[in-house]
């Protein structure tokens, strides 16, 4: 008599959703920590370096614990892996610089334009067809960005362009991650992502180094890399337990976390224009997610 058949990992959706929510909590910890330290006067390049140093050391230790093997450090797509790491580094640098000048809720709102940017770039970079519904959502999403940043108001700050550049870098990073998924081990991508940021930013961090003034700031700065590594590891695990089509909407917990952090730490709440802009961007992102999920189900049905 045969024993019970083990269910595949993706049969545990609630665990995947829970991990997704935890992952974005750690991502929110990165942003609030970076803003806290930027307000304290630390350089955004120094903070970016610390974000990747911790990430790199943890990834290196874990990969060495599994045994030193050339196959774990090499790939046919190594140039793309390095480019992916460089794009992630640039998204962090620009985000940390923008956080010095902009509220957490505004940078989070701009960051949620990433799925819209990915969809707009997919016909060129992924050779994917985008229909009228998704193009409509893309246009609505960019209108939402304009509402949030109010380019012709007195409150407009040039740092919004830096934040938008960071979102674009992260969109390109996400597209490369999609291309490399399944061909490059996750642990290798984690290692090289940390290594690129650490090596490139080291001389800038040395030249602009400023020691934190108290033990709390030291702890927060050291934890930047830990938060980053944990967030990416948990996010990866979440996708092992549930499909992306189910998990994507829960990424919007990020803006909830940052709204709470913004109020608790900086006594700041988003204004009505940020709320309206964020609502439009999130709605546009959900339309894109819904259409892509529906198209993927139709493709799967035709294959069966």
Instruction: Evaluate whether residue 126 is within a structural domain.
Output: yes
> Above 60 in pLDDT, residue 5?
no
pLDDT at 49 over 90: yes
> Number of folded domains in the chain?
1
Query: Over the stretch 133-186, which tens digit does the pLDDT of each residue have?
Result: 889 989 999 999 999 988 888 888 899 999 999 999 988 988 888 788 777 777
| 4-18, 81-95, 218-232, 273-287: range with lowest mean pLDDT | 4-18
Task: Look at residue 7 in the predicted model and tell me its pLDDT.
Answer: 40
Q: Is residue 70 part of a domain?
A: no
What's the mean pLDDT in 26-33?
95
Is 90 part of any domain? no
Closest CA to 112 of 288, 281, 287: 281
2 part of a folded domain: no
Q: For residue 128, tell me if it sits in a domain.
A: yes
- The pTM is what? 0.86
In-domain check, residue 82:
no
Closest to 45 in 3D by CA, of 106, 80, 93, 91: 93
Give 251's pLDDT tier (boundaries 50, 70, 90): confident
Among residues 268, 164, 232, 172, which one has the least CA distance to residue 24? Answer: 232
Cα dihedral sign for 264, 267, 271, 274? negative
Contact 5, 238 (CB under 8 A): no
Is 119 a residue whose pLDDT tops 60?
yes
- Predicted pLDDT at 70: 60
Between CA 55 and CA 62, with CA 61 as vertex, the angle to 5 degrees is 90
- Is 139 inside a domain boundary? yes
**pLDDT (0 to 100) of residue 14:** 86
Query: Do you know the residue count of the chain?
Result: 304
Name the helix (H) or strand (E) containing 249. none
Residue 163, in any domain of the structure: no
Domain boundaries, position 303 = 103-155+271-304
């Amino acid at each position: 008599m045969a024993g019970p058949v083990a269910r595949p990992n993706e049969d545990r959706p609630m665990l995947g959703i829970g991990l997704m929510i935890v992952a974005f909590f750690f991502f929110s910890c990165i942003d609030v920590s970076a803003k806290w330290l930027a307000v304290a006067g630390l350089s955004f390049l120094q903070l970016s370096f610390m974000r990747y140093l911790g990430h790199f050391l943890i990834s290196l230790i874990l990969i060495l614990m599994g045994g030193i093997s050339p196959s774990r450090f090499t790939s046919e797509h190594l140039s793309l892996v390095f480019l992916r790491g460089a794009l992630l580094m640039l998204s962090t640098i620009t985000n940390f610089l923008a956080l010095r000048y902009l509220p957490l809720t505004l940078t989070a709102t701009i960051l949620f334009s990433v799925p819209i940017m990915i969809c707009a770039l997919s016909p060129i970079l992924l050779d994917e067809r985008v229909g009228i519904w998704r193009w409509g959502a893309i246009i609505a999403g960019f209108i939402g960005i304009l509402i949030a940043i109010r380019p012709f108001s007195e409150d407009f700050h040039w740092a919004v362009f830096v934040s938008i550049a960071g979102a674009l870098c992260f969109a390109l990073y996400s597209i490369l991650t999609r291309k490399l998924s399944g061909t490059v081990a996750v642990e290798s991508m984690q290692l090289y992502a940390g290594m690129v940021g650490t090596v490139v930013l080291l001389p800038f961090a040395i030249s602009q180094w400023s020691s934190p003034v108290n033990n709390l700031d030291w702890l927060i700065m050291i934890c930047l890399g830990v938060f980053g590594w944990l967030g990416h590891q948990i996010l990866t695990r979440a996708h092992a337990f549930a499909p992306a089509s189910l998990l994507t909407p829960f990424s919007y917990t990020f803006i909830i976390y940052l709204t709470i952090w913004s109020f608790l730490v900086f006594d700041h709440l988003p204004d009505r224009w940020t709320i309206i802009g964020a609502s439009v961007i999130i709605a546009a992102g959900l339309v894109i997610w819904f259409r892509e999920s529906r198209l993927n189900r139709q493709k799967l049905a035709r294959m069966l």
